[in-house]
Structure 1
Amino acid sequence: MSLLPAISQDSLLDALQESAQPGQYARQYLAQGQERLNQAFEATNITELVQARATMVDQVMIAAWSLFGLAERNDVALVAVGGYGRGELHPCSDVDLLVLLADTPEQALCDSLERFVAFLWDMGLEIGHAVRTLDECVELAREDITVATNIMEARTLAGNDILRGQLEDRTGPEHMWDSAAFFAAKWEEQTARHKRFNDTEYNLEPDLKNAPGGLRDVQMIAWVAKRHFNADSLEALVNDGFLTPEEYGVLRKCLDYLWEVRWQLHVQTERNENRLLFDHQRQLASRLGHEDTSANLGVEHFMKGFYRVALALSVLNEMLLQLFDEVILRSDTQEQVRPLNRRFQVRNDYLEISSPDVFEQHPSALLEAFVLMAQNPDLKGIRASTVRALIYNRRQIDDAFRNNPVNTDLFMQLLRSPHALFSQLRRMKRYGILGKYLPEFGGIIGMMQYDLFHIYTVDAHTLLVIKNMRRLRYEDLREEFPLASEVFYRLPKPELLYASGLYHDIAKGRGGDHSELGADDAIAFCQRHGLTAWDGKLVAWLVRNHLTMSVTAQRKDISDPDVVYDFARKVGDLVHLDYLYVLTVADINATNPTLWNSWRASLLRQLYTETKRALRRGLNNPVEKQDWIDETRDAALRLLTDRDHDGPEIEALWANIGDEYFLRETPRDISWHTEALLDREDPDDPLVLIRESSQSVLAGGSQIFIYTPDTRNLFSATVNALDSLGLTIMDARIITSVDGFSLDTYIVLDEHGTPIGEDWARIEQIRKTLTETLKYPDRYATTVSRRMPRRNKHFDVPTQVVISNDIVNDRTAVDIQTLDRPGLLAHIGRIFMRFEILVQNARIATLGERAEDVFFITDLDGEPVSDPTLCQELQQTLKQELDDKNNGNT
């Protein structure tokens, strides 16, 4: 099938002249032609498609130019610039045009040009156009590197081609922007562009045109090559010796891949969209043939391929620009060379091999290069020629190489290096060495998880974990991570921590339990690298249990001594606790910047401290709950009597509260609550207290304490009010006294993930809203005005509900995982109310688009919900209603 409609240029012009609505005719012609191109996508090379699209637009442009009587004039030219100038157009790409004038136009020409441009808009094309004289173009090009770049890619569509030739001559490197100035300006431009995308190829919603590893990085190479070498194509760089045939093949393959993605993205969105938004990723993956499997979603497989292509292009861009830098900017620089050893030397502060065949003769040098970089942190990098040799010779890394004691010793030297471990591991990954040396790591390169919780690919997250571990050595982080920094310095062998970080997520994407599979890989790594059996078991234990501490802290009631002792028994000793704590802190901080907040920090700190105390007390000597309660009461009483409160009055108030309160609260908070209850003026109004929890043991959030008559919908009314105030609930403790009052404590953060602080106007607003709500809880609004965030709408999180009985604490646990949205907690509370269920405690966690909440409930008599039929009905109702709401059915 011919890619374009079978019509000659003259016939197209005749058709436009004969049509009553030439603009509509041209629009239909382009639409029909585009449909033919779309149908040919599967069977046609993408280069042919983008060129055919440009050719089709050329035909219409040339015909339109003649239609308005412009073809006969010698004082004007129609010039294609930008991507259109290169002869590359995607379905909805901007069509960039320059109307180039010999001199200031007379009115008749201006009128013709106005009609011509209006006609182009009638055709439905996204036109970017400029009308300028030759002199104006030259002056603008002198001032603006972007204009000069566009002119380099210009081609004449119609009119006087001599004008474009004159423009090309007058804006060439002999007159402006010589190759050195051009290269420096474009490099600065690229650096700024990359910075806008956080200098990473791995953004969750990448821009395939402008982000690192995108189309602009390929064009950057082409622009510099054309300016300096007058190379008309990337392939010409092979002849100039700046690109090997193999590198050109990689470059061409990656470019074709990005073009295919961009083509389908334009077809899908019907606009010039270059961002892989969550809105588009699933459908785009399906369009490109990626289907779901048992281990991975199709969209995850698609994005993994995209990220790998972006990384490959980014590395090529980096290497070639460094080569250009040496040839263009530093050609006159005096060479300063000093040897490091027989295999490596330093040239102008860059590491390079001492002869071209070093890696062939000494394969271990493939790892030694990075050890030397770590040992010489003053070096600026690895010379481009050596990077090229590294990439070419990585094929030598096989099982024999991996098991060679020389190489395993080199890798352990790197892990034990006091400097630049993260930088060198990252460099090894970029050049393909790390993935070859550790094939299990190679499997996670570019792997994404389709959610909002994991904002980095697995490989990027893994290296960021190690970076976070290393940062704990620095004094400036002592304030941000005081306990983790202190514990880090006690670790006898930090390299074991780094090994656990390297392997903690290594088995993701394989199906099965990645912690167990990763532990097996970690054992094999430790054995191969000569670690002792004890060290290997510790690393494997850390990998197997890397989620245990965060899950315990965030999803269990760590004020319960039984929970602490269960965790202490799992840990076993202080050495395991120390390593696990640092790994957990580094892991959470490398998962999502919004995940780590003062509240989560306080939970982990509390669990670490209580577990350490339990280990010192002895695992066979757990604290009795009654002893805990008595100690808490006595400590709170001392605080109150020191402030001149009457002991009998205090005891009378406490008599109706019950032991659960003294088990869950701290002496300092009990003193705060009691003092306010004894001093309050109006006993009929709800009591609402607010303060920074940094004033108590539970540092990290703001505490809201509520004392009010208990009602069935009290929980729903309260969480709805807090949600309407833009507060995020992190923890809830609901205690009902013997005389029917509810003593509720909520730990909240503001919309920025921080405590409320000393914003007294904000505190008073919260207090007033809660007080009014709790006076009449039956009247609270059941709808939430806040909208679900755009990103959340594109994730399918089926609701999961697990109900189990906590026999030790006489309550029922309801574990709910569902899509996070405004009003979720209030909705759950209303369901509990319908089932005549009381919430006694809640642990609230939001992980990206997913809410993972645990509610501890009882019936109206304070007993566990033990009726199997009722539990099944509750489970089904929660699942159905939450899924219906998430899917927009209610």
Structure 2
Amino acid sequence: MKFTSLSDYLASHEGHASIQKWHQHIEQQFDTSFENGNSIRHIILARSNATDESLRLLWKKAGLEDSEICLFAVGGYGRQEMLPYSDVDIMLFSEFELNTTQEQAVSQFIASLWDTGFKPGVSVRTVQSCMEQASQDITIATSLIESRLIIGDERLSRWPRQIVNQAWTDRAFFDAKMQEQKKRYSQHNFTESNLEPDIKNAPGGIRDMNQIAWVAKRHFRVGRIYDLVHLGFISEFELKILEAAETFYWEIRHHLHRLTKRDENRLLFDYQRDIASKFGYNTPKGQSANYAVEQFMRRYYRKAQQVATLNEVLLAFFNQSVIEPRSTDYAKQVTVLNERFTITDHKIAVQHHRVFSENPSAILEIFYLIAIHPEIKGIRARTLRLLVLAAKNIDENFRQQPKHQHLFLKIIQSSKRLYETLSHMRRYGILGKYLPAFGQIMGLMQYDLFHIYTVDQHTLFLIRNLERFKEPEFAKDFPVVSSVYQRLKKRDIIMIAALFHDIAKGRNGDHCILGAQDAREFCQLHGISPEDTDLIAWLIENHLLISLTAQKKDISDPDVIQEVASKLKDMDHLDYLYTLTVADINATNPKLWNTWRASLMRQLYTQTREVIRKGIDQPVDYQMLIEDTKFYASERLVQNFSLQRVEEVWQELGDEYFLKESVDDIAWCTHAILEHEASNQPLIKLRAHRKTAQDAVQIFIYTQDKPNLFATTVAVLDRMNLDVQDARIITSKTDFSLDSYIVLDRFGTLLNEPQRQEMVIKALFDALSHVDEYPNLMQRRIPRQLRHFNIENTVTIRLDESLKQHKIEISTLDQPGLLAKIGGLFMMQGLDIHFAKIATLGEKVEDLFYVTKKNGGMMSNDESEHFAFQLKSALDEASNQITNSTP
């Protein structure tokens, strides 16, 4: 398609023509052309040419045509990569300082750019200032490499690159750009697999391709990356990969710009569904609602991984073929490992280029050698290129070779840095080819806020966490699990379980069961003993057991602990599973791990351990537990109060209180009640929950029972930016309520700012003093990301015969004031809450409540079904309001 030129447009629109209107006109043509299937490359180039045409006209109108000043395009504009809302970065370049006439003309030119609708990034430099600034700032030097003359004195067109060549040696420029890339990677957690990737700056993004071009252009003096093929720096195959990724990224950026009406490069949740649809991704019947967006993002992650790999390969090749040989202090150090490999300058290298073709087992052997030789710091560039090509030959015949199976197992068993080794195997294409099931999860993301990495990256981070448990610096943060990990009998068991624990995600069926089946086949094929195979498969099948129990059940209930212990059977199963679980949670979303969550896991582990040690079949002696708890709590209290006064308080409470509460909590709460003189006023106390959970705050409330007490309390806590994690509500025989809440502070200041503590206590006191008034639920701003999730609301109500209480489980979209809304519904139904457990998993909450009627009775079947319907309807209405709300 031919686009309307500026001269043609101005000629045919006399009296009404303007450059700005012309740009609006051709942008419509660009969009139509792209929608009709024309190449994004053609459109980007056409937009750049159109910008050139406009700037030349404005330059001439400003009287700068014969001014001895050059106008250069720099940055993305210099590369002729112009998206709909890209900045127009330009440099006005002259040999000498501008005179007054030139300055006035330049000011007129710049003003005309803004008047025309451009958003220019302008620099005005002389040869001398350019030299000074470029030598001090690698960013400026980089922009000069990509400078492209638009109009002006041709004599000066070569100056920008010559300045860079004078200001920076090959080594200095290369080292500065690599340091810059390292800093950029660190801002994205050194992974291309983040949930909301920045397609421009994240690892594997556009900047990684730019980096290759910048380094090569600085040395080889070429204008296009294609020219590097003829110079032998890059192969045709590698160039095709980069061009395909670049085209894909440009198409994404085009859609992002059009959706946001700005220069947006982040693939936020807000845009992922729309852009997946633009690329033609649809959800087939029978698939989850997120299928289309997950497939689109999978394509992105795989492209990003390819680009990141080529970035590593080509820059390493440049370093070893250009930088090192030119260094005066360079002396190659070579250690022969065997007839196939050497260690050259701390990196492993092949002895000759036919190593992988003549010895296919060398594809795995190289990683085994890396695993057992800590002095090896990487793979030499030429070897790496050969390895990436050789990986394509891994097939079923390769996988069935006993020698190869033995080598792969030895990598897992021998490596002291398995995470690093497997990460390289994944990046270079070996891991996904050797384990096809792992290849299926590469780039697979889950469209939620809980799993913040792709499945393959999460799996590798899990293995990294396991390895860290043996390091002293991490033992400080994970003291219990580090100790447990140290005494595991066979660490390769937990590593294999980790490798396979999520390998079946994305398939139809239970990924725990399917993953266990895959692991059994792997173990049998690789000669692992039946006993170890059974343990590995069991760990995979049950890898969610401990985390789900800690998140969704009342782990102070002896029956819950007994149930978990019966599934774990012995200490080996407990130790392996506990270690795997802690590593798994931290690899899923480190931000969700805190000392409160850690304390729950630790409590579950220690209590289960005690049951296993005493004997799983030994029944729980509830009466003895109650008596022991009272005895140890009274020992702490009789120092300040008579035993009679203590027992007067306790006799108003039921056995369940002493069965489920800790000695420390009972003593603290009882002490507060006995000291409380104004018994008709609410008592509110606050403290750190326990030494092992520094970020959790315990709030104790003692006040006369009221129907909307829970709703009022959680509404106030929500307004004070406190997230409830756990709630226990005991109603005494005298109709006083003993409520204990565990909260996490969104600001993290509650425990160390007395003024804020006083504010929370005062807010609760004021609200509870007027508890008859239904709480005014403040609607906090709904987080941006929550608007893009359609969570199915579920409500399940079951009768717990042993407790004579109804258990209500709610799964819904996280939202401000949710607990208060639920509490209000409980109040209107005439229900008392005895226990609540709140689990926030990304965008979703899974809440558990134990309730009875006000008189302690239970709901009938009809009443529970009706209330479940009411709850579900209220949650559906609230979710619809969020989904349909305007950001």
Q: Same fold (TM over 0.5)?
A: yes
> Aligned-pair distance for 1:829?
0.7
Residue 261 (structure 1) aligns with: 252
CA distance in 1, matches of 2:139, 2:671: 69
Which amino acid letter does the alignment assign opposite residue 381 of structure 1?
Answer: G
CA distance in 1, matches of 2:169, 2:471: 45
CA distance in 2, matches of 1:142, 1:480: 44
**Which of 128, 143, 155 is residue 121 of structure 2 equivalent to?**
128
> 1:785 and 1:11, CA in 2 relative to 1: closer, same or farther beyond 3 A?
closer
Say if 2:111 is the partner of 1:118.
Answer: yes
Say if 2:679 is the partner of 1:683.
Answer: yes
> 1:761 and 1:112, CA in 2 relative to 1: closer, same or farther beyond 3 A?
closer
Alignment length (residue pairs): 877
> Aligned-pair distance for 1:499?
0.8
CA distance in 1, matches of 2:481, 2:106: 69
Contact 1:374–1:417 under 8 Å retained in 2: yes
Residue 219 (structure 2) aligns with: 228
CA distance in 1, matches of 2:376, 2:633: 60
Residue 459 (structure 1) aligns with: 456
Residue 835 (structure 1) aligns with: 829
How big is each residue's C-alpha offset from its partner over 1:78-97, in whole Å with a ceiling of 9 and x where there is no partner? 32222222222111111122
Contact 2:795–2:868 under 8 Å retained in 1: no
Which amino acid letter does the alignment assign opposite residue 520 of structure 1?
Answer: Q
Pairing of 1:63-142 with structure 2 (within 5 A): 63-71=57-65, 73=66, 75-142=68-135
Contact 1:3–1:37 under 8 Å retained in 2: no
CA distance in 2, matches of 1:207, 1:653: 59
Residue 538 (structure 2) aligns with: 541
CA distance in 2, matches of 1:884, 1:258: 33
CA distance in 1, matches of 2:115, 2:693: 65
Q: Select between 643-652 and 372-381 the one with higher mean Cα deviation.
A: 643-652
Pairing of 1:409-808 with structure 2 (within 5 A): 409-641=406-638, 643=639, 645-694=641-690, 701-751=696-746, 756-757=750-751, 759-779=753-773, 781-784=775-778, 786-808=780-802
Contact 2:595–2:693 under 8 Å retained in 1: no
Identity score, percent: 43
How big is each residue's C-alpha offset from its partner over 1:511-550, in whole Å with a ceiling of 9 and x where there is no partner? 3211111111111111111111121111111111111111
Contact 1:805–1:866 under 8 Å retained in 2: no
Q: Secondary structure at the match of 1:729?
A: strand
Q: Secondary structure at the match of 1:802?
A: strand
Contact 1:46–1:256 under 8 Å retained in 2: yes
> Aligned-pair distance for 1:75?
1.7
Pairing of 1:280-291 with structure 2 (within 5 A): 280-291=271-282
What is the TM-score normalised by the length of structure 2?
0.95
How big is each residue's C-alpha offset from its partner over 1:782-807, in whole Å with a ceiling of 9 and x where there is no partner? 22253222233333323222222212
CA distance in 1, matches of 2:407, 2:668: 58
Contact 1:451–1:848 under 8 Å retained in 2: yes
Q: Secondary structure at the match of 1:416?
A: helix
> Aligned-pair distance for 1:335?
1.7
> 1:668 and 1:193, CA in 2 relative to 1: closer, same or farther beyond 3 A?
closer
How big is each residue's C-alpha offset from its partner over 1:5-29, in whole Å with a ceiling of 9 and x where there is no partner? 2x4x65456568x546x5xx21221
Q: Select between 337-346 and 653-662 the one with higher mean Cα deviation.
A: 653-662
> 1:237 and 1:676, CA in 2 relative to 1: closer, same or farther beyond 3 A?
same
Which amino acid letter does the alignment assign opposite residue 561 of structure 2?
Answer: V
> 1:584 and 1:169, CA in 2 relative to 1: closer, same or farther beyond 3 A?
closer
Residue 150 (structure 1) aligns with: 143
> 1:613 and 1:138, CA in 2 relative to 1: closer, same or farther beyond 3 A?
closer
Contact 2:825–2:871 under 8 Å retained in 1: no
Residue 58 (structure 1) aligns with: 52
Contact 2:89–2:120 under 8 Å retained in 1: yes
What is the TM-score normalised by the length of structure 1?
0.94
Which amino acid letter does the alignment assign opposite residue 250 of structure 1?
Answer: I
Residue 171 (structure 1) aligns with: 163
Which amino acid letter does the alignment assign opposite residue 629 of structure 1?
Answer: I
Q: Secondary structure at the match of 1:604?
A: helix
Contact 2:131–2:167 under 8 Å retained in 1: no
> Aligned-pair distance for 1:144?
2.9
Contact 1:91–1:263 under 8 Å retained in 2: yes
How big is each residue's C-alpha offset from its partner over 1:219-250, in whole Å with a ceiling of 9 and x where there is no partner? 11112212211222222222222212211111
Contact 2:829–2:867 under 8 Å retained in 1: no
Pairing of 1:147-296 with structure 2 (within 5 A): 147-165=140-158, 167-168=159-160, 170-171=162-163, 173=165, 175-293=166-284, 294-295=287-288, 296=290
Which amino acid letter does the alignment assign opposite residue 55 of structure 1?
Answer: N
Q: Secondary structure at the match of 2:591?
A: coil
CA distance in 2, matches of 1:112, 1:647: 94
CA RMSD of aligned residues (A): 2.2
Which amino acid letter does the alignment assign opposite residue 746 of structure 2?
Answer: E
Which amino acid letter does the alignment assign opposite residue 534 of structure 2?
Answer: K
Contact 1:802–1:815 under 8 Å retained in 2: yes
CA distance in 1, matches of 2:759, 2:57: 68
CA distance in 1, matches of 2:173, 2:255: 34
CA distance in 2, matches of 1:683, 1:587: 47
CA distance in 2, matches of 1:392, 1:483: 44
Residue 388 (structure 1) aligns with: 385
Residue 861 (structure 2) aligns with: 867
> 1:475 and 1:69, CA in 2 relative to 1: closer, same or farther beyond 3 A?
closer
How big is each residue's C-alpha offset from its partner over 1:604-646, in whole Å with a ceiling of 9 and x where there is no partner? 11111111222222222220333332332233233333x1532
Which amino acid letter does the alignment assign opposite residue 860 of structure 1?
Answer: K
Contact 1:76–1:99 under 8 Å retained in 2: yes
Pairing of 1:2-13 with structure 2 (within 5 A): 2-5=1-4, 7=5, 10-11=7-8
> 1:732 and 1:85, CA in 2 relative to 1: closer, same or farther beyond 3 A?
same
> 1:162 and 1:563, CA in 2 relative to 1: closer, same or farther beyond 3 A?
same
Which amino acid letter does the alignment assign opposite residue 496 of structure 1?
Answer: I
CA distance in 2, matches of 1:195, 1:489: 30
> Aligned-pair distance for 1:192?
2.2
Say if 2:875 is the partner of 1:879.
Answer: yes
Which amino acid letter does the alignment assign opposite residue 657 of structure 1?
Answer: L
How big is each residue's C-alpha offset from its partner over 1:125-160, in whole Å with a ceiling of 9 and x where there is no partner? 221222333443344333333333222222222232
Pairing of 1:318-333 with structure 2 (within 5 A): 318-332=312-326, 333=330
Which amino acid letter does the alignment assign opposite residue 424 of structure 2?
Answer: R
Q: Secondary structure at the match of 2:776?
A: coil
> Aligned-pair distance for 1:464?
0.8
**Which of 26, 36, 43 is residue 33 of structure 1 equivalent to?**
26
Q: Select between 526-535 and 102-111 the one with higher mean Cα deviation.
A: 102-111
Contact 1:773–1:780 under 8 Å retained in 2: no
Q: Secondary structure at the match of 1:44?
A: coil
CA distance in 2, matches of 1:100, 1:699: 59
> Aligned-pair distance for 1:74?
5.1
Q: Secondary structure at the match of 1:887?
A: helix
> 1:29 and 1:316, CA in 2 relative to 1: closer, same or farther beyond 3 A?
same
Say if 2:845 is the partner of 1:845.
Answer: no
